[in-house]
Amino acid sequence: FTPARFNLATLYNATGRNQAAEQVLREGLEHTPEDGELQYSLGLLLAEEQRLEQAVQALGEAARLLPQRVRVQYNYGLALQHTGQLQKAATAFDKAHRLDRNDPEVLQALIILYAQQRLWEQAYPYAEQLARLYPDEPGPRRMLQEIETMRRRAQNN
């Protein structure tokens, strides 16, 4: 039942019929409200449509139902971040990081979250780890250098 709904919603979404996709997902959730995959799909669809408050609700439910899924925790964190719920976003990103310490998107999300708040000390270890994981990539090295610079400036003030 759920895979069929999920596949149909995916097809609708891929063909630009997001309203139909949402309807299929919501109908599925009426029958199986504890289905984390349906909640997650609904949350992603709502986020794609910039309906972020609703996305936070659906992704939060998905995060509760699928606590071991890195992507679910990560996307929940992004939705929280985009709605200004920075402390909750940090918690979601931290949970994703505990599930996979080397996920580059999670590391980058933590770096950006803390950098936005000018919390250079908190951002630094994640930037250092990302640069260590990708020593041949210039982006992580530049990010680490920038955070080191901002960190030093903050310490001198």
Give the DSSP letter of residue 31: H
DSSP count for the chain of H helices, then E strands? 9, 0
> Which of 15-19, 56-60, 152-156 is least confident?
15-19
How much of the chain exceeds pLDDT 70, in percent?
Answer: 98
Mean pLDDT of 110-117: 97
Domain boundaries, the chain: 1-88, 101-157
pLDDT digits (tens, 9 = 90+) for 39-82: 999 999 999 999 999 999 999 999 999 999 999 999 999 999 99
Domain covering 1-88, topology: 1.25.40
- Nearest to residue 68, comparing CAs of 29, 40, 48, 46? 40
Question: Residue 9 pLDDT > 90, yes or no?
Answer: no
